[in-house]
Amino acid sequence: MEKHTRENAGNTFRNAAGASAMLIALALPGASVAETVSSHGISAFGDLSLPADFEHLPYVNPNAPKGGEMSLSWSSGSFDSVHPYTRKGNSAVLASTFFESMLESPAHVVGESYCLLCEYMEYPEDREWVIFKIRDEAKFSDGSDLTAHDVLFSYEIMRDEGLPSFRASIVKTIAGAEVLDDRRIRFTFVDTAPIRSRIESAGGLPVFSKASHEASGIAFSESRLEPLTGSGPYVLDSIDVGKQTIFRRNPDYWAKDLPLTQGRNNFDTIRIDYYADGNAAFEGFKAGSYHFRWENISKSWASAYEFPALEEGHVVRKELPNDTITLGQSFVINLRREKFQDVRVREAIALMFNFEWTNKTLFFGLYEQGSSFWQNSDLEATGLPTAEELEILEPLRDRLPQEVFTEEVYSLQSSTPDDSRDRRKARMALRLLQEAGYEAGDDGLLRRNGETLEVAFLNSSPSFDRILNPYVENLRSIGVDARLDRVDHAQETQRTRDYDFDIITDHIPMGYEPGPELRQYFGSESKDASVFNPAGVGNDTLDIIIEAVINSETKDEMIVAAKALDRVLRWERFRVPQWYNPNHWVAYFDMYEYPDPLPRYELGFLDFWWWNADKAEALKAAGAF
């Protein structure tokens, strides 16, 4: 598989905080009277784009019909759990769709969050604390009231028993929480926590039913096949472990009449069929076994969409614009291994990946290669450091590679597209390895202190062989003892979690307003505890730059700090960027419709697309499926 993707039924949360709305006076128990903000939403930088009385999100069809089924496939491993907040087990796709949070971010803007579970929020201008007033009508899917006690329980159990990297991050932001009454909860924040993302960190927490957890008798950290009860628009309809999940829209969904949900959650059911591999999944689509396909194989997109259902007009094939930050798909090098400590070794490995040949020969020239961690955004570093970046970097000069200051930001050099092995870059890579102390033996393999340089690519996807094998051969051609370690998906998952690998393919997704999550991706405290930091990158110097990003008070400051971080991370050379698609490739049976234009930041096929019943009946009558 060329790109692994999962799309949640709701919108992706993006870190945001800011002031808005009117100032009022509020007396808190045990506190002096303070000026506070009361608002229906919050923005990191500037005003909210939606007024308190907005009728619906600007990009949805508020009159979209309800009904039908959205069906799709998954072929990147199986599942044995519907609990996404623990390391144990493999969680099913969309397992987080049961749960909602106080705040939700729309898909047409960056840095704005609006009240979903809450009716409004109140906070002082310094954001020392926030009070969420939970809507009176908020209920869990079993009909029970969602109260401040459930919110407190969810926060505390995620803090104490959630994913280790999450626990490490949350205690740096949230100092504590207290229930004021059944419908009000107050979060207080750590004094040193970044101001702009404090409220979003609390408002983005998933909320579970305390009663459902206690009734289950299962520890939160354990895997489970009966999900915790949430308040979301969908509930679990049926499950066939490892083969299929069906999510059913709750007709009694408490928020179905809210402005924030108009025109959304339109399908009666969402069905996900699991396949052993991508080829079997594609055959299933051609046969009409499922009806929506988000294509991620260039060869298939370029040459395989010639089958009766498409030729007869039953299936629509479209390229829709993808203007979002790239997912950061890369070959990720495990810095925990001593052999990869030398940056020259890492750069040599990177040089031997020929993207241009791969794209031309294997991908029909359909992809582009990124370099930045914030590719396709204004947070991407370019050229030499600006004067503003140097204000952050100059105090760290003695700790950073001098190239950060003297050379343009690191990017992979282009290769010849006519031969998988670029001889010029091979000479460069070999010279770097020799400088790192490696010498060729009689068998042609490079050795340092008698040890060969072994490089194993851990992967479970057969479709990746055509990409990895040429890369392996390129490395072997200069004396690296490279190989492909093919394992099943369960082994790949476990070995990745245990950091038992040399190189894996992974995503390093960044947001438009980076915040405390950076600590989980690149922070020194989480480098050996975070599932989001497979490379094990992290040091005191990076921590300083990360904090500069997190503590930015203006948008301009944030952009400068993010560019500085991007620049430094790229010179670490711990990843080899693979490719990204400037378009969404979608194919679907012609009974799905969507708003035009789509919002910039979401494709949204599980969120605000809808089903056309008349078209569906016509397809059935024609025998399309």
The closest alpha carbon to 493, from 163, 90, 223, belongs to: 90
The pLDDT assigned to 164 comes to: 81
Burial (Cβ within 10 Å: 0-12, 13-18, ≥19) of residue 100: buried
| pLDDT tens figures, 589-610 | 999 999 999 998 899 999 999 9
Please give the residue that has the higher pLDDT: either 531 or 136. 136
Strands, sheet with 269-274, edge to edge from the N-terminal-most edge strand: 69-74, 269-274, 244-249, 234-240
Q: What is the per-residue pLDDT across 66-88, written as a single tens digit (0 to 9) for each?
A: 999 999 999 988 899 999 998 78
- Determine the Cα–Cα distance for residues 561 and 552; give it in Å rounded to an integer: 8
Residues 329-373: tens digit of each pLDDT: 999 999 999 999 999 999 999 999 999 999 999 999 999 999 999
Q: How far is the C-alpha of 247 from the C-alpha of 369, rounded, in Å? A: 36
Q: What is the pLDDT of residue 197?
A: 85
Average pLDDT value for residue range 224-228: 94
Identify each DSSP E strand in 393-550 by its residue range. 439-440, 446-448, 451-452, 454-459, 481-486, 503-506
* Structural domain spans, the chain: 1-322+582-625, 330-577
pLDDT category, 7, cuts 50, 70, 90? very low
Superfamily (CATH) of domain 1-322+582-625? Periplasmic binding protein-like II (3.40.190.10)
202 band by pLDDT with thresholds 50, 70 and 90: very high
At the fourth CATH level, the homologous superfamily of domain 330-577 is Dipeptide-binding Protein; Domain 3 (3.10.105.10)
- pLDDT score, position 605: 97
Which residue in 121, 136, 139, 152 sits closest to 36, CA to CA?
121
Strand runs (DSSP E) across 509-582, as ranges?
Answer: 575-577
* Range 452-481 average pLDDT: 96
pLDDT, residue 87, reads 79
Query: 454 forms bridges with which residues in the sheet?
Result: 481
pLDDT at 13 over 60: no
pTM: 0.80
What whole-number distance in Å separates Cα of residue 438 and Cα of residue 425?
17
**The total number of residues written for the chain in this structure:** 625
Query: Cα(443)–Cα(280) distance, rounded to whole angstroms?
Result: 42
In the structure, what pLDDT confidence band is assigned to residue 25 with cuts at 50, 70 and 90?
Answer: very low
Q: Which of 483, 489, 510 is closest to 577 using CA atoms?
A: 510
Mean pLDDT value of segment 182-191 = 97
Structure tokens that stand for 496 in this block: 């990745």
Under 8 Å between Cβ of 382 and 423: no
Of 425, 411, 378, 398, the residue nearest 561 (C-alpha): 378
Burial 389-402 (b: 16+ CB within 10 A, else e): bbebbeebeeebee
Mean pLDDT rounded to a whole number for the chain: 92
Confidence of residue 1 (pLDDT cuts 50, 70, 90): very low
Higher model confidence: residue 527 or residue 10?
Answer: 527
According to the model, what pLDDT value does residue 162 have? 87
pLDDT over threshold 90, residue 304: yes
pLDDT score of 2: 53
* Interatomic CA distance for residues 199 and 188, integer angstroms: 9
CB 207, CB 150: distance < 8 Å: yes
DSSP 31-61: S--EEEEEESEEESSS--SS-TT--S-TTS-
CB 75 within 8 A of CB 276: yes
Nearest C-alpha neighbor of 260 from the set 117, 134, 96 = 117
pLDDT value of position 22: 31
* Beta carbons within 10 angstroms of residue 257's beta carbon: 9
What is the amino acid identity at position 134?
A: I
Percent of the residues in the chain that have a pLDDT greater than 70, as a whole number: 95
Mean pLDDT computed over 149-165: 93
- What φ, ψ does residue 333 adopt, rounded to 5°? -95, 135
Given a cut of 50, is residue 26 above it in pLDDT?
no
Over residues 248-263, mean pLDDT: 98
Mean pLDDT, residues 215-231: 94
Sheet of 22-26, strand order? 22-26, 34-39, 118-124, 129-134, 184-189, 174-181
119 residue type, one letter: E
Strand order in the sheet with 583-589: 292-295, 583-589, 315-321
Sign, CA dihedral 485-490-491-495, equals positive
What is the β-pairing status of strands 503-506 and 454-459? parallel
**How confident is the model over 29-39, as pLDDT tens digits?**
444 445 899 99
Instruction: Find the mean pLDDT for residues 485-503.
Output: 94
- 546 neighbors 565 (Cβ within 8 angstroms): yes
pLDDT digits (tens, 9 = 90+) for 515-555: 888 999 999 988 888 889 999 999 999 999 999 999 998 88
Q: Looking at the predicted structure, is the pLDDT value of residue 146 above 90?
A: yes
- Taking residue 196's Cβ as centre, other Cβ atoms within 10 Å add up to 27
**pLDDT-derived band of residue 486, with 50, 70 and 90 as boundaries?**
very high
More confident residue, 326 or 25: 326
What is residue 47's predicted lDDT score, i.e. its pLDDT? 86
Decide: 485 and 503 in contact? Cβ < 8 Å: no
Instruction: Say if residues 41 and 105 touch (Cβ distance below 8 Å).
Output: no
Residue 500 pLDDT > 50: yes
pLDDT of residue 391 exceeding 70: yes
Phi, psi of 568, rounded to the nearest 5 degrees: -70, -45
pLDDT for 297: 87
Q: Under DSSP, is residue 221 helix (H, G, I), strand (E, B) or coil? A: coil
Burial 46-71 (b: 16+ CB within 10 A, else e): eebebebebebbebbbeebeeebbbb
Report the pLDDT averaged over residues 406-423. 95
